[in-house]
């Protein structure tokens, strides 16, 4: 099975750029939400808890899972021992 990087190099570069841009935007946006939730005390109760939990979960996805997706696609092509 051929990967996206083998089919067309330009598509692979575009894919990496899009995922990187989305990761940076997601980390910045979710960090801003967490900062606002820390400073702004008007939102209370379950709404505040929900917003903090959603921002943290999305922060981990955009900060950890998306970059790992790029690394995984690159390493699958390089490591033939694990995936012959």
Residue 74, C-beta contacts closer than 8 angstroms, at least 6 positions apart: 5
Contact 78, 9 (CB under 8 A): no
The closest of 59, 72, 66 to 20, measured between CA atoms, is 66
DSSP 3: -
CA 59 vs. chain centroid, Å, equals 8
**Distance (Å, rounded) from C-alpha 82 to C-alpha 70?**
17
* Predicted pLDDT of residue 2: 59
Interval 37-58: pLDDT, tens: 999 888 888 989 999 999 999 9
* Predicted pLDDT of residue 43: 80
């Amino acid at each position: 099975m051929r990967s996206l990087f083998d089919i067309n190099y330009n598509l692979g570069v575009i894919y990496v750029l899009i995922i990187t841009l989305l990761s940076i935007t997601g980390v910045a946006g979710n960090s801003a939400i967490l900062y606002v939730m820390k400073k702004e005390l008007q939102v209370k109760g379950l709404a505040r808890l929900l917003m903090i939990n959603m921002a943290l979960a999305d922060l981990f996805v955009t900060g950890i899972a998306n970059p790992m997706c790029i690394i995984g696609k690159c390493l699958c092509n390089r490591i033939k021992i694990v995936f012959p």
